[in-house]
Each structure stands twice: as structure tokens, then as C-alpha cells.
Structure 1
Amino acid sequence: MVGRFRERLRAAVDRLPEPVAVRLRPRRYRYDLSEVPPPPPRLDAPTRVTIGATNYAAQGYLLARALDRLDRVAAINVHQRPAGDTFGFPADISVSGDIVRLSSHWRRRQFAAIAEHYSHVIVESGRPIFGTLFDLDPAREIHALRQRGVAVAHLAHGSDLRSPRIHREFSRHSPFHDDDWETRDALQQGADRYARLLAETGGPVFVTTPDLLRDHPDARWLPVMVEPERWVASEPPLARRRPVVLHAPTNPRIKGTALIEPVLHRMHADGLIDYRPVSGVPAAQMPDLVRSADIVIDQVRLGIYSVAAVEAMAAGRVVIAHLHDDVVAHVEGVTGERPPIVSCSPEQLGNRLDSLISDRDAARERASAGPAFVRHVHDGTLSAGVIHGDFLASAP
């Protein structure tokens, strides 16, 4: 009885104007009204796209900018910032997790604005974009949007859809072989849940890394995006006697950091390289760090290349990553080009670094191909074309 009364009281308070409702809430449920962003604005284009809400590595924001360059298309991205976020990726609309959780007014305004003023929504990572408005159920959100005439597609970024079970069967270097990794089972459950959501809701599916096509064969590869001009370096790599080797893993387990650091520390101690590990650096500081390096190690376990590798290629640095043959073949089949990356498994790293240092001309030649490859494949033009052809132009 008491619980039902409290629920009715909470619902009544939530119907009041927001400034009044916030003051009437218990202290632990209050929030700062100045932190509540406005709803997505009306956009002046026939095709209006919302992208949300994970914005991993600014991919939602950069996709919106790429779509803006299309004729008769305008886009906006919404980023729900997780607690403790230190990266500071750019976003059109940025909202804290506390506001998403606490402000029923924000949730209702968000849904009303998108349902009334937008023609298309791209849902990132199968995450809810309206908080608890639909009980954190993305399938209900998608159904509600489609009932209002909004076309919906899915965008997967990596660990959200990547099945550990499939990946470890495909690769002996897979991080998902690690039995001591407590997160592995949770990642499998998340990937299975996402796969069920895709099957239940349908619609176009886009993946930012080609290996995810193993998990969802009907998806289309949407190349990750960077702003090439932010990464341009004036100095060529490997000009100094002791090359700087940069490794900036967002997830050391997945990137294989523990497998390669013994070699890196040994070569650093021997004076062969200047190893610089990086973690938790705000996005705005990364271009200078990458430009200051000669060699950038992306990852040695996943078989793909990530946004970090693309940024380093844009800067004309030598890039090392473990690449699977099917990933390279797909990139080449779509673009006509092979990524100018030094492919390397964990046990090969020492020999690869020795070869790069001893034959610097060949290494610089490979690195010099990076900026043009990025402009052709990863500046957003190709990605916007994929979205337009497979979603915007064909959606009802």
C-alpha cells in the first residue's frame, strides 16, 4: 500500500513543471537544472537523422558530420556520458548519466522531439536512448519510434556485438581464450542479448569493424571515421636514432598489452626504443601525442585495426596491429586498398620492431601511405555513402 502511494506521488510530482518537481523530490533524486540539455532541435532538411547514444571514440558525432555533407540531409548526435568519463569526445548534445536516470522531463522531451521532428534514428550498440521512459528496453523504443513513422537502423561498434565464443574459435590469439578474465562471460551475454535485439527488431545493421560480419553476416561495414586534418604531422617518422613507440590501449586485455610490454620494456631498457604507454588521456591531447611518436601499436589480439590505428595512419606514423586475413580482404574488396599497417602477432613484435628500425626507408614508405588511405576510406565520405544507400534512400 505504501509503495503504491509513493509511486502515485512520484508520478504526480513528475507531471509538475520541472523546476517545481525537482525541488519536491527527495534530495537524492534532485539534479541541477542547468545540466539538462535542450531536446534535439528542428533541422532544416528533408532527411533528419539522430544518432545515439554511446558515441564511442566520437563515432556518433563524426557520422553526423559526414551525413551533414550529403545533399538534403542533416544529422545530430546525442551522447549519454557514462560516469567518470575522462575522454571528452565531442558531441552535438551531451547529457550525463545522472540526468538520463533522474529527469523524467528530459526523457519525455527527448522522445517527443525525435519522434516529431526526425525521419531516421541510428541506435548505437543496442542501448536505450530514452533512459527509463520505455523501461530501458531498446526494442520498445524502436517500436515506439516506428509507430510514429521514424525509420530505425542499428550501429555496432565492437565489443557490444562481438561474440567471445565466435572470436576465440576463429583466432588462437583471441583475448577470449583467457579463462581468468571475469568480464568474458558478461561480454558474451551482452553480445547474445544484442544479437537477439537485432533479430527481434530488424532493420539495417552497420558495423564499424569487418570482423563483426562474422557475428552478423547481413550487416554492412561502416568504416570508422576521423578528421584527417587534426592528425597531420609535419615531421616524418623514424628520423631520430631512438624511435618513440606509443601504445594507448583503451582496454589493455583486449589490446594485448600484457603480452607485448615485456618486449617493449626490454627494448626500452636496451636503448633501442623510447616506449611511451598512455592511458586515460583526453581526446583533445591525443593528436599531439600521436604526432610525437614514430611507431604506434594499436592491438595484437583482435585481428582488426581500430580508431587509434586510423588516427596514427592519418598522422603518417608507422602503425602495428594484428590483422586477420578476412578483415584485410574485406577492406580491400570494398575500397580497392589494403591498410598500410604492419601486421604483427604478439610473439612477432620484437622481430617486427627490429626490422622497422633497421630498414627505416621501407618503414617510412609504408607510413607515408597512411594519410591518403585515411582520406579515401576513413574521412566519413565512404561511411556516409553506406548509410545513405542502405538506410536513408531505402527506408520507408
Structure 2
Amino acid sequence: MTDARAQSALRRLWRRLPAPVRRRARTLAGRPPTPTARPAPAPAPKPLPEPVTLPDDLPDRPQPRPEASVRLFVGPANHAGQGYRWARAVERDRPQVSAVAFAPTRPGGFSFAIDYTVPLPVYWDNELWARDQLAYLESFTHVLVEAQQPLLGLHLDEDFTREVAHLADHGVRAAAMCHGSDIRLPSRHVQDNPWSPFLVPGYRKTVELEALATLNAQRLTDLGIPVFVSTPDLLDDVPAARWCPVVVDTERWHTERNVRRPVPVVAHAPSRPEVKGSDLVEPTLHALHEAGVIEYRRISRVPARQMPEIYRDSDIVLDQFRIGSYGVAACEAMAAGCVVLGNVREPVRERVRAATGTDLPLVQADPDTLEEVLRGVVAAPERVARLGEAGVAFANQVHDGTVSANVLRTFLDGPR
């Protein structure tokens, strides 16, 4: 066979080989394989992220008085309006104090009074606002962090301890105010409270709150800053803290009660029915209502500004039955002259007595004894009058802000 014929035969044999074999042979021979596909298109350029901006309608930040020797920032919870009330209390207590209360506006909230607010999305995730807010905080001498919540949203990793450390580096002294579920440990609470909400099968927040309270307790221990609690039962969870009573505007809630109705109006206005124990007591209340013993009114979704009128038209108010303590709603009802019933554990009553020198005039009733207690109150009009007067006096003495301001002095007067 001639060379030409041999080469022609080899070419025919080559063309019969599968394409993958031919490509492999070329590679081994040092020749790049013939491209079998078009090159991938170049990736499209990614659009640049939208620049972070601030909404045009944000309110101006209220400035503390520059001549004030103590400039206090309170936030960011304002639960039941308490941040605002503590701020006003310390200002009334001493003229050299200037205080600002802050909380973001939460959709569906109760519209409590506040000095400064921004929409919740701005608070949580606007870097420009957070940077400006941090510089603003540096102009204060003291910061009272409520409920161990971050002052700057997601900035600084949503960690109030990092915020406190930064402020300390700028000469700002911090303290913590525990409100309730932020520090109340479910595993401890169930040991002393047979009606604890954490004993309810399937209560969805128990595991979450156990982790939160454990984390917050450890953070407070590590920080070593002053700690206050808004209700006396929380001293079970933070024994080294001080009770700083909640504050109500007693003049706003005051009511003249000259006539008691033969069938008293009993109101129950639970902010969170599953925690207040509404399910435990409402069957009794409905039965007494049907029997004509009381006129029962369940209050829900009423703005805070309308509650004084609700209590003016009520004789008896039922507070809470699962937690074992009392809070803002009970104080408002007492200030309005209502008789208040609720489940308050004896150790909590003893703490109130030791701190104030007076007994808590909240009628003890639990889900098992409510009917008997309520019938007894209704059957004794003169007792109703005495209890109403005692409640007004207690609210004026303990919850008008004077005691709270004295407690907070230990923080505001401390070394800086």
C-alpha cells in the first residue's frame, strides 16, 4: 500500500471513531480538542444595591437640656408606657435631670405616650439611622436599657451588651430594667405557680422564653451593671436587682365614686389572655353574669387613652391569675377606685410590704376561689368602699412615680 493510500485509509478510520475518542486522542497528542459548544456568555453585571436612605418624615430627636447634669435615655420597650413614665418621674424628682424615652412604633400597638419614636423597620434595619442614633446616645450621661432589647436594632449584632460597652467607652453609664418575660425563667416559675402559663400543654413560647431568660440573665451577670425590675415577683429571677415600681398618672385615673350599683360591673381587660389566665376565670364570670350577681364586661382592643373611661364605669376589675403578681393594669384600676381581684403570691405581697410599709390592697383570688371571693365582695358594699379607698391610697403612695424616682436615684447618683 502506498503512503497516500495508507493515509487515506487512516483518515477514514479516524472519522469513524466516536467524537469523545477523537477529542481524547487530540489531548494526549498535545492538540486542544475542537470546540463542540459556544463559549458561555459573560455574566450580566449585577445592579448596585440601593443606597441606604432615611425616610423624609422621621421626627427630630428631642435633645436633652444641655445644662442638665444628668441626661437620661430610656428605651427601647416602653411596655405599658412605663419608659415614658419613669422618664417623667425622675424629671419631677430633680430639676437637674433631663430624660428622653424612646421606643419604635409597633403596628397594632396601644399608642402609649413617648418622647421619640421611629417606624419599626427603621429601628431594626436602617444603618444610617443606627449610626446617628449611636452618636445621639453618646450625648447622654445615663442609659436605662429596657427588657435587654437592643437600642440600635440589628446594628452591633442586635446585642445590647455591645451597645453598653460602646457607651461606657464614651462615658455613658448604663443600667438594665427587666420587665417580665425577658428575664422570667419558665422552669423556675412553674415550681412556685400552679397556674403558670408555662404549664399549659403546647404553650408555644415556653422553650423560646427559657432560652431568652437564660441568655439575658447571663449577660446581666457578665456586664455587672445596676439591674432593676418593674414588678416584685421578678426578684425571684434577679435576686440582686431592685424593685422599681411601675408608674401611673394617678390624677388621670382618679374617679369620684359616690354611688355603688346593686349589680356591680366587673371588667377584665387582659393584654395577653393566655398569660393573664382569662381562660381559667371566664367560665365563673359568665356563670355569675347569667345568675345576675355581676355584670361582666370583657375588654379587648381598646386604645390606652380610652381605658380611664372604662374603669370609671367599672366597680371591680380582675387582674391576672397565672403569673402570681400584679402590674400596670392593677395599679390603674386601683387609682380609679376600683376593687381589684387577682392572684398574687404571698412572698410577693411580703416584698411589697417590706419595701413600702403598707399592704397591697388587691383582693386575693385564684381560679379555684374566685366565685366565693367575688360573691363575698359583692355581698359587702361597705367593704367595697373601703377597698376602693385603700386602692387609691396605695396607688398614690407607691405608684405615682415618687418611689420609682427614689429607687432610680441609686443609679443616677452613682459614679460615672
The question of a shared fold, defined as TM-score above 0.5 by the shorter chain, is answered with yes
- Distance in 1 between the 2:128 and 2:381 partners? 59
1:344 corresponds to which of 365, 370, 374: 365
Alignment match, 1:218 = 240
Alignment match, 1:41 = 63
Alignment match, 1:94 = 117
Q: CA deviation at 1:67?
A: 0.8
- Distance in 2 between the 1:367 and 1:331 partners? 19
CA-to-aligned-CA distance 1:230-249 (integer Å, 9 cap, x gap): 11111257x11211000001
Match of 1:189, SS? Answer: helix
- Distance in 1 between the 2:61 and 2:253 partners? 32
Alignment match, 1:267 = 288
One-letter amino acid of the structure 2 residue matched with residue 230 of structure 1 = R
1:236–1:246 Cα change, 3 Å: farther
Q: After superposition, where does 1:203-214 map in structure 2 within 5 Å? A: 203-214=225-236
1:231 corresponds to which of 228, 250, 253: 253
- Distance in 1 between the 2:293 and 2:415 partners? 55
Where structure 1 has 5 or more consecutive residues not aligned to the other structure, the ranges are 15-20, 23-31
Match of 1:42, SS? Answer: coil
- Distance in 2 between the 1:47 and 1:216 partners? 27
- Distance in 2 between the 1:268 and 1:152 partners? 50
1:256 aligns with 2:259: no
Which has the higher mean CA deviation after the structures are superposed, 169-178 or 243-252? 169-178
Alignment match, 2:308 = 287
Q: CA deviation at 1:113?
A: 1.2
1:193 corresponds to which of 198, 206, 215: 215
1:367 aligns with 2:388: yes
1:143 aligns with 2:165: yes
1:335 corresponds to which of 350, 356, 364: 356
Q: CA deviation at 1:76?
A: 0.8
Alignment match, 2:153 = 131
Q: CA deviation at 1:192?
A: 1.2
TM-score normalised over the length of structure 1: 0.90
- Distance in 2 between the 1:196 and 1:236 partners? 52
Overall identity of the aligned pairs, in %: 39
1:395 aligns with 2:393: no
Number of residues paired by the alignment? Answer: 370
- Distance in 1 between the 2:197 and 2:341 partners? 18
Q: CA deviation at 1:40?
A: 4.0
Question: Residue 64 of structure 2 contacts residue 98 of structure 2 at CA under 8 Å; is this kept in 1?
Answer: no
Question: Residue 64 of structure 2 contacts residue 99 of structure 2 at CA under 8 Å; is this kept in 1?
Answer: no
Question: Residue 301 of structure 1 contacts residue 346 of structure 1 at CA under 8 Å; is this kept in 2?
Answer: no
For the aligned residue pairs, the C-alpha RMSD in angstroms reads 1.6
- Distance in 2 between the 1:236 and 1:323 partners? 29
CA-to-aligned-CA distance 1:149-189 (integer Å, 9 cap, x gap): 10000001111111111111112122221122111111212
One-letter amino acid of the structure 2 residue matched with residue 351 of structure 1 = E
1:201–1:261 Cα change, 3 Å: same
Question: Residue 248 of structure 2 contacts residue 331 of structure 2 at CA under 8 Å; is this kept in 1?
Answer: yes
Alignment match, 2:101 = 77
2:86 corresponds to which of 63, 70, 76: 63
CA-to-aligned-CA distance 1:21-80 (integer Å, 9 cap, x gap): 46xxxxxxxxx421x232341323000000000000000000000011132111110012
Alignment match, 1:26 = none
Q: CA deviation at 1:287?
A: 0.3
